[in-house]
Structure 1
Amino acid sequence: MDTNYDLEETSNLLICTACGTQLPTTDRIALATCFICDDPRQYTPPSGQAFTTLAEIRTSHKNEFHPYRPGHQSASDDNVMISITTAPKFAIGQRAILIITPKGNVLWDCLTLLDEDTVKEIKELGGLSAIVISHPHYYSTHVEWANAFDCPVYLAFEDKQWIARTSERQVFLKDVEYDIPEVGGPNKTVKAIKLGGHFPGSLVLLHEDKLLIADTLMTTPSGMANWEVDALGKPRVRPKRANTFSFMWSIPNMIPLGVDDIVRMWDILKEHDFTSTHGAFLGQDIEDGDIKARVLQSMQIQVKAMGYGQHLFLHLF
């Protein structure tokens, strides 16, 4: 079990260049494939399987911090979200989101690269009280992160088989909903919600009225489109036939979820209110008081397109 952090001690463990997962070995001869990329939800690139190390990544990459403030939030508000990305892009290229609250900070999802500059920057922002990761494709080097910040990392129990490195810091969530206790108290503000779908335990994170969705709900180009005005500059209404999200079993291999999974996801999510969504990649932020309705609408579009034109789910409002 890994519980202590040494910036150099694990710097030569092998890391898959396709998905960014750190594996518990330095033996390039013994390790020929990545078990996560061999799964049909992921893939091995046409160039073939390849591995690197944190030591190598640190010489060519750096993490960048991108503050995000919702349109209604002032610069003096205590609750802030900061996206963290790696440049140049490494592996899948997802962002991690640092949620800063008066009770402590939570990191949503994780990046492979962890270096001295990143540790210093986050500690100056108050450190981490907890890490929550949406699904196995973003497990990356989460043991390194949890050890560096001396905090627990929350993962779905259903996805435990995808753990590459084990640690006493890993907490496996069995419940559908879980308030993160490290930033809890009377006004619990950070809640992990297990929707499943992409993976059996795929999570979203609700922070006040913000829903961090990773790719449990995949933000689409149509979802990010500007429907406010037409070509003549006149106001327009977003067309109902336009989706905002897709619901995928495999994103890179374009395999959609089945209708039963989609309906089950809505049955869980419908109990929660939110006015913005924040996707897996930088810039995938949508602020809209009707965003919950857009989730349902997107689900109904996909269910109908999959051939279930008479499904009762299409009659929900």
Structure 2
Amino acid sequence: MNNYNPEDSENLLICNACGTQFDTAGRNSLKTCFICDDPRQYVPPSGQSFTTLADLRAKHKNEFHPHHSDPRLISIVTTPKFAIGQRAILIQTPSGQNVMWDCLTLLDEGTVAEINKLGGLHAIVISHPHYYSTHAEWASAFNCPVYLSSEDMKWTARETERRLPIAETRTDIILGSSDTGLVETGVVAIKLGGHFPGSLVLLFDKHLLIADTLLTVPAGVANWKVNALGELRERPKGANTFSFMWSIPNFIPLSANEIVRMWGILKEYDFTSTHGAFVGTDIEDDDIKTRVLQSMQIQTKYMGFGEHPFLHALW
């Protein structure tokens, strides 16, 4: 039986910049956010500030948007935008066990009711610490496990027994127990690293959910199919689709060697679409894997490694 009470934690402090919930309600006891003090993130010009779930529930709501070509993928987005503004993606798996990719800070009665109407929530997998948000709250509300990379556990701000460390490069999300029976969801967590040591992507039925482990750029979602006269055209050669960053807001790229290492893992998997951290960053293209490789090669070249053997890599 789940004894979750949303009022128990509604006054715990939440960072306004990154959306992380801390295990204290004392305004005098928490003056900084250790996630925002890390050089991958930032404190806004207005300074460090905190809010609470009680405040967020009064001013924000979550909206649900099924993906247009595969309604099993449902984006959940907080409006008006809060903190980083990422989306979570609820995956309705063939087993009936719903898995949520990434997490939002806002959790309210309407969100719980809508997810339960869609079949409930049986597991959460989070790409990296910037989206850890209120995952302990979600895990309590739905009585489900939360999968985080073992390398990044030090970035958690609240205690919960529901966290499960991902230690391997590949982790198939299998739910249940030896008593109740194990259920294969078809969801695979893949540890690429890069942005954080344990940064993940998630694979489900050739959909690759990438958060910002692979950062979708404007040229990636551009409409190259027609010109100003409505004439058909091809995507220009040399246009990239993704960037690979150690810090997204501070524009610090990953090294060439790290990009090559990430490709060594990702090339083993087949996918025909990518789904980034934000609404509007979905790309469906049977050739999207080639576009990932080309984007990696473009970044490697223009960081000054014009003779790097990776520029000639194929898959």
The normalised TM-score by structure 1 is 0.95
What is the CA-CA distance between 1:99 and the residue it aligns to?
A: 0.4
1:133 corresponds to 2:126: yes
What are the ranges of 5 or more consecutive residues in structure 2 without an aligned counterpart? none
- Give the count of matched residue pairs: 308
* SS class of match (1:304): helix
Q: Which residue of 1 aligns with 2:87?
A: 95
Q: Conserved in 1, the CA contact under 8 Å of 2:148 and 2:164? A: yes
1:309 corresponds to 2:302: no
Distance in 1 (alpha carbons) for counterparts of 2:256 and 2:195:
13
What is the CA-CA distance between 1:4 and the residue it aligns to?
A: 5.0
Q: Which residue of 1 aligns with 2:260?
A: 263
**Letter in structure 2 aligned against 1:115:** D
More off after superposition, 174-183 vs 231-240: 231-240
Q: Which residue of 1 aligns with 2:224?
A: 227
What is the CA-CA distance between 1:231 and the residue it aligns to?
A: 2.3
Q: What per-residue deviation string (whole Å, max 9, x for no partner) do you get for residues 177-227 of structure 1?
A: 000002897865100000000000000000011000000000000001011
What is the CA-CA distance between 1:166 and the residue it aligns to?
A: 1.7
Q: Which residue of 2 aligns with 1:76?
A: none
Distance in 2 (alpha carbons) for counterparts of 1:231 and 1:69:
26
What are the ranges of 5 or more consecutive residues in structure 1 without an aligned counterpart? 74-78
Q: Which residue of 2 aligns with 1:61?
A: 60
Q: Which residue of 1 aligns with 2:72?
A: 80
Following superposition, which runs of at least 4 residues in structure 1 exceed 4 angstroms of deviation? Answer: 183-188
Aligned residue among 192, 195, 210 for 2:192: 195
What is the CA-CA distance between 1:235 and the residue it aligns to?
A: 1.8
Q: Which residue of 2 aligns with 1:42?
A: 41
Q: Which residue of 2 aligns with 1:273?
A: 270
Q: What per-residue deviation string (whole Å, max 9, x for no partner) do you get for residues 149-192 of structure 1?
A: 11100000000110101211000100000000028978651000
How high is the sequence identity, in percent, across the aligned residues?
Answer: 68
Distance in 2 (alpha carbons) for counterparts of 1:232 and 1:124:
46
Q: Which residue of 2 aligns with 1:20?
A: 19
* SS class of match (2:6): coil
Q: Conserved in 2, the CA contact under 8 Å of 1:69 and 1:80? A: no
Distance in 1 (alpha carbons) for counterparts of 2:143 and 2:184:
24
1:112 corresponds to 2:111: no
Distance in 2 (alpha carbons) for counterparts of 1:108 and 1:185:
20
* SS class of match (1:309): coil
